[in-house]
Structure 1
């Protein structure tokens, strides 16, 4: 495990798992969930919860199945009090897990994901954000819109909110170190980075101070 110290008061850990890969042990309750999910969702659920249990086992010294984890499908995973905060995101071929002793949100997408940047921006983003890409080429607009999307999703996960009601409330200017929520006045520190073929973002408490986040590859 690779971690980064945050002002001696919190720690940040990031792990990237490639998909597909072997399935790791999950709890009896999680196996019950698997049986009630569609094949694709069941595979993603088992893979992500198994990886999460392995990560926390490496950190705490507890067995993977002894980690006090509540990880219902479709809901943010929760660790028992005192074990910090966890956030996960997956795309077509990778799973990103972020852990911190304070609130955290992460999101990951492939850089080559196909979408119409201007249409997506007009649907989900603000007028000012749309103006920023109005005269860019399709490839330039796609790069900025993808970055903006992962930053906003990470912030929404930090918030424990819903995409539908918050995606146009979180504001992030390209290359800014912070994002803010217009209605709720939340403010988070964000790290938007590229690793190999993926774009990912991390959202942390506003006052977090950290060196460059480092991903542990698995």
Structure 2
């Protein structure tokens, strides 16, 4: 997994988007041209970084990587190339790869969110109970730590936040996340790196449960 640190507002900089076009496939270039300017630059830069990092991993030209990453949909590699997942915020990009399916997510730890309201609306009773007694910054960071796990699980699932956020239940001992109706159980890895909180989810099956490695790109 790679954490890419970017300038604040990177997704709003046209120059960043122009510089990133060289690694894109012809299809990605066409998709980018059809997007509004702000989304176009964010798409170009995120897909370019994904291709560069995975190209280095597999020792292939980034443009030759068998990656399908259309706007608004989860990125996918061709069969036999493993799984890939992507997340970004205002000043960082997270790219994850594993031999099997995975999901990753990141948020800034100082992101202003209505923490109590989010927990009451989307979190399950055991999760809300664990948050009782927390206030202010401690509550916000605890909610964000759970939020990134749930979003990473939704990305593993290829689900939706509206439908699935309240279905994923975080189990602290051991560190698992379980879907109440789908029956899926995923292993969770978490990191606090500088200003960010990160999570990765993968199958909890023992034969694929290996520790992830986080690199700064």
TM over 0.5: yes
* Cα shift at 1:171: 0.5
Quote the residue 1:180 is aligned against. 178
Question: Which of the pair is proportionally richer in helix?
Answer: 2
Superposition TM-score, scaled by structure 1 size = 0.88
The question of 1:194 aligning with 2:192 is answered yes
The question of 1:32 aligning with 2:30 is answered yes
Which of 113, 116, 123 in structure 2 is aligned with 1:115? Answer: 113
* Cα shift at 1:130: 2.2
Quote the residue 1:46 is aligned against. 44
> Is there any run of 5+ residues in structure 1 with no aligned partner, and where?
1-13
1:1-218 equivalences in 2 (<5 Å): 14-19=1-6, 20=10, 23=20, 25-174=23-172, 176-207=174-205, 208-211=208-211, 213-218=212-217
SS of the residue corresponding to residue 81 of structure 1 reads coil
Instruction: Render the CA deviation track for 1:160-191: whole Å, top value 9, x for unaligned.
Output: 11111100000014574111011111100001
* Cα shift at 1:121: 0.9
> Is there any run of 5+ residues in structure 2 with no aligned partner, and where?
11-15
Higher relative contact order (CA 8 A, sep 6+): 1
Quote the residue 2:13 is aligned against. none
Distance in 1 between residues matched to 2:185 and 2:100, nearest whole Å? 14
Superposition TM-score, scaled by structure 2 size = 0.88
Aligned length: 204
* Cα shift at 1:128: 3.0
Distance in 1 between residues matched to 2:131 and 2:92, nearest whole Å? 28
Distance 1:127-1:142 versus aligned 2 partners, 3 A rule: same
Distance 1:197-1:98 versus aligned 2 partners, 3 A rule: same
Distance in 2 between residues matched to 1:33 and 1:127, nearest whole Å? 42
The answer to whether the Cα contact below 8 Å between 1:144 and 1:174 also exists between their aligned partners in 2 is no
* Cα shift at 1:34: 1.1
The answer to whether the Cα contact below 8 Å between 2:84 and 2:97 also exists between their aligned partners in 1 is yes
